[in-house]
Amino acid sequence: MKAVLCDIDGVLLVNNEAVPGASEFLHGLVKNEHPLLLLTNYPSQTPGDLQNRFSAAGLDVREECFYTSAMATADFLSRQPGRKAYVIGDGGLTHELYRIGFTVTDIDPDFVVLGETHSYNWEMIHKASHFVARGARFIATNPDVAGPDHQPACGALAAPIERISGKRPFYVGKPSAWMMRAALNRLGGHAESSVIIGDNMETDILAGVQAGLETILVLTGVTREEQLDSFAFQPGRVVPSVAQIESL
């Protein structure tokens, strides 16, 4: 039975409302016993938050089915030397770092960990750039530069720190191979028997192509069908929405 990795925004939810057919699609996956993990590059919400968000949209999904870039970042850092981090991000990210035993501090941190926050300011940029320039390892949850309604996302927040310090961050989220491996490990799945469903060629589909997964692009989110010719790689399948995915 194929393991299914499925993006959230633009695939199952649009503006916090369920895409038509999303409930039936998810029910079919559960009924047919597909191992399922719902992925998001956005690090601000915990699995519990996401479960509540889905419930409000009329979608019933177990909490353990969610995997965020904050969770992937914590899984990555748990394998690295050092246990102190200067963190710029909301509660979902700090929650995951506390879970793995990290100390969140602005005193001699081993890492600067960047997520997403609405309170980004000059002092944060100054401290982060100073720490990175002095040797702290720069880790960012995801490379997206903009989220819904063009709000600045992690990639945009990383730009001034990178320019000032002269060091690029390691991005954990899609299309990073790390997040794909971590997600498959969580499911106990293998690339050759797994599929990723997403709406964004530059994150979801590129991640699947690079990791060797079957890829399905839905047209309810970021990428439009007329844009496909501009990419050197192509999805395995293109469908209008998850409602039109008839077999896996």
Q: Which residues are catalytic?
A: 7, 9
How far is 97 from 187, CA to CA, in rounded Å? 21
Pick the closest to residue 50 from 65, 35, 36, 34 (CA basis).
65
Length of the chain measured in residues: 248
Give yes or no for a cis peptide into 175 (omega within 30° of 0).
yes
Q: Taking a C-beta distance cutoff of 8 angstroms, is the pair 63, 48 a contact?
A: yes
How does DSSP classify residue 173?
A: S
Pick the closest to residue 112 from 123, 127, 122 (CA basis).
127
9 Cα distance to chain centroid: 10
Helix 154-165, helix 122-133: angle, nearest 10: 50
Pick the closest to residue 58 from 26, 10, 92 (CA basis).
26
Q: What tokens does 206 get?
A: 């590129």
Q: Taking a C-beta distance cutoff of 8 angstroms, is the pair 238, 204 a contact?
A: no
State in Å, rounded, how far the first CA of the chain is from the last one.
9
Place of tokens 């964004």: 200
Q: Taking a C-beta distance cutoff of 8 angstroms, is the pair 69, 92 a contact?
A: no
